[in-house]
Chains A and B, each alone.
Chain A
Amino acid sequence: MSARESLLAFSLEPRLLPSRWASRASPLLAMVVTATIAGAMFALLGASPLTGIQALLLSPINSASGISEVLLKASPLCLTAIGLSIAFKTSVNNIGAEGQVILGGIGATAVALHVPDSMSAWLAISLALLAGAAAGGLWAALPAWLRTRFGVNETLTTLLLVYVAVQLLSWLTTGPWRDPQGLNFPETRLFNANMTLPKLSDMGWSIWDGTRLNISAFFAVAAAVITQIFMTRSPMGFRLVVSGLAPRAAAYAGFSASTSIWAALSISGALSGFAGAVEVCGTLGQLQAGWVPGYGFTAIVAAYLGRLSAGLIVLSALLLALIDIGSTNVQMALGLPSAVSALLQGVLLLSILGLDLLVRYRIRRIA
């Protein structure tokens, strides 16, 4: 505290009235800040800022197939982020969604590789997705057990289990599940047709003809709606919110702390696992050793960007997916390095956090 003040000769003061409109507007402002910084960065790298921003934000969505790619990217991200928001609201720091996503992929694959191709597609797909959710949920239940039984901090264990999950993935795809006809590539065989998520174009939506868009976007929206109802109107949702806000009051209400931890971790893990299963059965169609979902971490950003509210997370996931794809376009259009995407996501999160700080505090010079 003293160091902060003396080094900078500035101090942060709580604002008397955190203004309501400012807290609503700060995500928009953050986007403007991010766009400005992106423009400046393009200029510094010797490219035209306008072309850059056009490539970043507009080029991804100027065609149906572009939009479909953004939706395809946003869906698993959104599912994962919604799960995380439940954990974060309970004050449970699940930062290992990446591992839970991978386990979801593994769970779905376990079903996909062992179910006869004569099974009806709806049943087969449902089984695979459920297996994915179960695997992700169980993977996240492990830290819950360690926390409630031995008091081990879940922040650490959820993160460490990501690396275990990566190893498990690589062992399965190079060992037991490797495709014998696969020229020694570390990946499983392609799934049967009854194991792939239906595409919207195949379901008769002609505007999506020629795109890869599948029903995962519906899952994301459904998850948002169900989660919103769950958190505001179900007894378990109420319990989680109370446990997150005031542990003492939760004890008073009669909610055991360990049940909340178990529930928060398993539910968020299950949603991550579901996202992993959706991706493996959707865009991938097989399990590969080199599969790095990445959105297990981006989902943390998406959850906070969406202020831990399911409806807003849908928007934040769309935005992050847009930036991700836009960055690839920037890379191609302007010949910029591939780190641009991560960089811009970082800038966006920092500006959100920075603006949030300014909503609640103001900076004062120490006289």
Chain B
Amino acid sequence: MNRPLIELINVTKRYPGTIANDKVSMRVMPGAIHAVIGENGAGKSTLMKIIHGSVQPDEGQIIWKGREINFAPPQHMHALGIGMVFQHFALFEALSVLDNIHLSMPKEVARGETGNRAKAMAKRYGLMLRLDAVVGDLSVGERQQVEIIRCLLADPQLIIFDEPTAVLPPHAIDGLFQTIRSLAAEGRSVLYISHKLAEIKSLCHSATVLRGGQLVADVAIEDTPEQELAVLMTGRALPSYEHLPRTMGPVKLKVDRLSSEPRSHQEVQLNGVSFEVRAGEILGIAGVSGSGQQELFDHLSGERPSPRDDAVRIADTPVGRLSVLGRRQAGVAYVPEERHGHGAIPDLALDQNYLLSQFGTSTSWFNAMGLLKVESLRAAAQGCLRDFMVKAPDCSVTAGALSGGNLQKFIVGREFSKKPEVLLVSQPTWGVDIASSMFIRRSLVEIAASGCAIVVSSEDMDELLQICDRLVVMANGRTSPVVAAGNMDPLRLGLWMAGMFDDQSEPEVEVA
């Protein structure tokens, strides 16, 4: 059968100040895995939301199985058989995983039945699922798996994945690809968005390339080399990554047998975490997400003070019990994993979001009368937009209106421009396009070269290998020995990720 499952004709969506989609046409055949690629802010998510029904376009047509549908709300699209796994998850944080899944099920399905189906689905596709965990306690990677299961349970014919692998652990990515391939083999269609071209090459059949909201090309993946895809997306050849020579200074950040007391049983307990980072050095933290990385960053940033003051030292000063403000004063900057509601507040304007992490720094944003210096704040926020190439009309738009990658660039820019002594970065390029990823990585290396100690946690092993000097693996709240990045082979990595560290490397158990 040669009729497309879904066809878009000249779809246009305008936002104040931007045209997110400009006369975009696209067709997806049954059983096809179709990629939508483009830089941050190219309009991929917007186009997907139009198909999903959660965004209403200004012009254009959608044809589903040969019949034109009048842009209908999500419930109708859902009933037609369109499901979506969002880039920013739509889960209720206060509810359990099971409740979240149950809420999206038809009402005649009992709660127990939902649980069984979800478990079966998780097993079938090799996904991790803790049904009674509260979603608020899950790592981003785990939340994503909940979203995927929730979507698959509705048995959709067209499934949209908006950057599903951004934070998935490598083994889950393989599993997800198996899932997607078997879904396609069953005759379902998949729309797939990713910034990782290698994934697109191995998974997808065809691709729609967007640039600045416009359709640039429709290509068959087989006939198009990666390099060409990149050029189509960016309109220029990619800069090559260069290694900056760096000199290491004295130890800037020292974590010594850091242990934590979990506040809920969902939280991973840190157990004797130890490592050092020297000025000018980038230490990478590898590991399956949910192995204690979040808890570690909470303790390093000061959001959770440590029981022992000398468990965390900055330039030899114990700071373990210092608050966020105290540590910021000591030169700590932090880019959290979750952008919405942690690193930024979607409902506030960008300049307000800029102010969010400025308390405790040496710059004062308040005048002698204690009032906000609106103009200088604007100027600083505007400078951040410019220096980090954030696509936004100006700093008075809300953070929620930015595309995922652009918000990430904004947060990264905000933290980098503090010229920190110690920089904590969780998932630096999650959802960021290739060119910007390279830019962020290059900036990381430059900041290190200026004498900053950097801790980066990432699911993306290639990224860590590219920028880090040394690596440590987290598993189950414990850290492996630290090794030079060049000495990390896949076998060792696999063993360490499973928590099997060498014996002689066990941290000493003596307590001061």
Contact = CB atoms under 8 A, between A and B. Distances in A.
Interface stretch (B185-193, B196-204, B323-331, B465-473): B323-331
Given A253-B324, A254-B324, A6 B107 contact: yes
B56 A249 contact: no
A235 B366 contact: yes
Contacts of B75: 13
Contact of B342 (A1, A16, A248): A248
A235 B359 contact: yes
Contacts of A14: 73
Contact of A253 (B73, B341, B359, B366): B359
B contact face: mostly helix, strand, loop, or mixed: loop
A16 B345 contact: no
A149 interface: no
B101 to A, nearest CB: 14
A190 B55 CA distance: 65
A234 B372 contact: yes
Interface in B292-343: 301-303, 323-325, 328, 334, 336, 338, 341-343
B429 interface: no
A46 B231 CA distance: 79
Interface stretch (A21-29, A173-181, A238-246): A238-246
A5 interface: yes
A249 B342 contact: yes
B374 interface: yes
A16 B343 contact: no
Contacts of A292: none
Classify the secondary structure of A's interface with B: helix
A13 B73 contact: yes
A253 B342 contact: no
A114 interface: no
Interface stretch (B256-264, B348-356, B433-441): B348-356
B103 interface: yes
Contact of B372 (A238, A249, A252, A255): A238
A249 B370 contact: no
Most buried by A among B355, B372, B374: B372
Contacts of B355: 238
Interface string A220-261: 000000000100111100100110011011011111100000
Contact of B334 (A6, A229, A252): A252
Contacts of B325: 254
Contact of A16 (B56, B103, B302, B352): B56
A13 B360 CA distance: 44
A241 B345 CA distance: 11
Query: How big is the B interface, by class?
Result: 35 or more
Contact of B345 (A1, A13, A229, A242): A242
A229 B56 contact: no
A195 B343 CA distance: 52
Interface in A156-182: none
A252 B56 contact: no
Given A6-B107, A16-B56, A251-B324, A235 B370 contact: yes
A44 interface: no
Contact of A233 (B302, B341, B345, B372): B372
A229 B372 CA distance: 10
B356 A249 contact: yes
A176 B238 CA distance: 84
Most buried by A among B55, B75, B343, B356: B356
A74 B345 CA distance: 35
Interface string A1-24: 110011000000110110000000
Given A1-B103, A235-B370, A246 B324 contact: no
B348 A253 contact: no
B357 interface: yes
Interface centre among B303, B325, B345, B348 (most CB of A within 10 A): B345
B324 A252 contact: yes
Contacts of A232: 372
A84 B325 CA distance: 29
Contacts of B324: 251-254
B107 A252 contact: no
A196 to B, nearest CB: 33
Contacts of A16: 54-56, 73
A5 B328 CA distance: 50
Contacts of A13: 73, 75
A245 B343 CA distance: 13
Contacts of B412: none
Contact of A249 (B54, B55, B341, B366): B341
A254 B332 CA distance: 12
Contacts of A2: 107
Given A13-B75, A245-B348, A252-B334, A5 B107 contact: yes
Nearest to B352: A238
Contact of A248 (B341, B347, B352): B341
Contact of B344 (A229, A233, A249, A254): A249
Given A238-B355, A253-B356, 15 more contacts: A2-B107, A5-B107, A13-B75, A16-B54, A16-B56, A233-B371, A233-B374, A235-B372, A238-B372, A242-B356, A246-B342, A249-B343, A249-B345, A254-B302, A254-B360
26 contacts: A1-B103, A16-B55, A232-B372, A233-B372, A233-B374, A234-B371, A234-B372, A238-B352, A238-B355, A238-B372, A242-B345, A242-B348, A245-B345, A245-B347, A245-B348, A248-B342, A249-B343, A249-B345, A251-B303, A252-B303, A252-B336, A252-B357, A253-B356, A253-B357, A253-B359, A254-B323
Interface of A: 1-2, 5-6, 13-14, 16-17, 229, 232-235, 238, 241-242, 245-246, 248-249, 251-256
